[in-house]
Amino acid sequence: MIQIYGSHMSSAGRCLWLLEEIGVPYERLQVDLRDPAARKKYVDEVFNGGKVPFLIDGDVRLFESMAINTYLAAKYKPELLPSDPYGRALVDQWSFWAISNLSAEALKVLYHSQFLPEDQRDPKQVESGKAGCARYLAQLEDSLSGEWLVGRSFTLADLNVASVVNLAARTGLSMGPRVTAWLKRNTERAAFKKVFGG
């Protein structure tokens, strides 16, 4: 059985969402990385990188949520990945865009407005992060020409990007009508609700 380490409130959330979409049995394992003893045990016995998510599927060992999701989709539900090279590249393009651009800006806002102790928060980082989020969300708004990001059906691109846009939504920024409708289509999926509630 597949084992995955991490909480739905971490980057593992997008992997858990995909596991529900593909419908294969899996075991979710929690690890408190803030507890020194638990962290040492995890690093020594499971993953020396000391982060989540971490996937075990037979002999396969993977870290990084986007790599995990590409593997899971390709192995267990290939219809989530276009069969043509261009479509597949578009899935990668949007997935990498979300994690390297929008996620970084959204986390900047959340860290400096919610997560860090008040004496460590920097209002300039919040302002910079919100500007970055707005810029990337506008790009997404302009790029959405249909119901889904790539082609005419839900793909891994939608899941990966929606997981990050959903995080960005926690910053309180307004989104354009196309992004709002697209995000709603994603978050109303049964697999999303099973992992994140709602």
- The predicted pLDDT at position 193 comes to 97
In this structure, which topology does domain 82-192 adopt according to CATH? Glutathione S-transferase Yfyf (Class Pi); Chain A, domain 2 (1.20.1050)
Task: Record the pTM.
Answer: 0.95
What angle (nearest 5°) sits at the alpha carbon of residue 171, between those of residues 169 and 177? 35
The strands making up 2-5's β-sheet, listed across from edge to edge, are 26-29, 2-5, 54-57, 60-63
- The predicted pLDDT at position 181 comes to 98
Length of the chain: 198
- The secondary structure of residue 9, as a DSSP letter, is T
Check if the beta carbon of residue 185 is closer than 8 Å to that of residue 164: no
- The secondary structure of residue 30, as a DSSP letter, is -
> Has domain 2-79 been given CATH number 3.90.420.10?
no
- The predicted pLDDT at position 113 comes to 94
CA distances for 98 relative to 8, 137, 144, 177, angstroms: 18, 10, 14, 19
State the pLDDT confidence band at 198, using cuts at 50, 70 and 90. Answer: low
Tokens matching residue 92: 């990668």
- The predicted pLDDT at position 184 comes to 97
Give the H or E element holding residue 21: helix 12-22
High-pLDDT (> 90) share of the chain, %: 92
Pairing of β 2-5 and β 26-29: parallel
SS3 44: helix
Q: How far is CA 177 from the centre of its chain?
A: 22
- The predicted pLDDT at position 187 comes to 97
Residue 194 pLDDT > 90, yes or no?
A: yes
For the chain, the domains span: 2-79, 82-192
Residue 2 pLDDT > 80, yes or no?
A: yes
Over range 31-37, report the average pLDDT. Answer: 90
Tokens matching residue 21: 């979409």
Convert the pLDDT of each residue in 99-135 to its tens digit: 999 999 999 999 999 999 999 999 999 999 999 999 9
Convert the pLDDT of each residue in 127-170 to its tens digit: 999 999 999 999 999 999 999 999 999 999 999 999 999 999 98
